[in-house]
Amino acid sequence: MPYTYDTQNIFAKILRGEIPNSTVMETEHTLAFNDITPQAPHHVLVIPKGAYVCYDHFALEASEAEIVDFTRTIGKLCAQLGVQPGEGGNGFRLITNAGEDAIQEVPHMHIHLVAGRGLGRILQ
């Protein structure tokens, strides 16, 4: 089934500059900004600038340039926040919710980067 992208979703409005955001990092294809309801000392939402509904839509249809840019931006964010476990940081978690079962609230592909406290187990 083809994806239908809702151009009125809140992240689309952020990308168009219609509502403010707290930008942490911006590149050619990617925007990272603080979550409005942070669940940890660091809670950054990383979104592609392209119109992708959820992770699989992005992974299957984005260009390699967009995917590389997105992936590297997350790496750079981890370095900027000082949370890289291999570099003396305490680590981080990446989460993406896709669709109904995962209770995806905003239908624009995003990854939550959370860090800065013990995060517990999410899968038992």
Fill in the amino acid letter for 32.
Answer: A
Supply the residues annotated as catalytic: 110
Residue in the structure block whose two tokens are 């600038």: 49
Does residue 106 interact with ligand 5GP by CB under 6 A?
A: yes
Q: HSE of 65 in the Cβ direction (CA atoms, 13 Å)? A: 5
Query: Per DSSP, what are the bridge partners of residue 112?
Result: 45, 95
Does residue 9 interact with ligand 5GP by CB under 6 A?
A: no
Does residue 36 interact with ligand 5GP by CB under 6 A?
A: yes
Q: Which 3 state secondary structure label does DSSP give 67?
A: helix
Does residue 21 interact with ligand 5GP by CB under 6 A?
A: yes
What's the DSSP call for residue 87?
G
Scanning 31-39, 48-56, 57-65, 71-79 for contacts with ligand 5GP by CB under 6 A, the matching segment is 31-39
Give the binding site for ligand 5GP (CB under 6 A): 10, 21, 33-37, 45, 97, 103-106
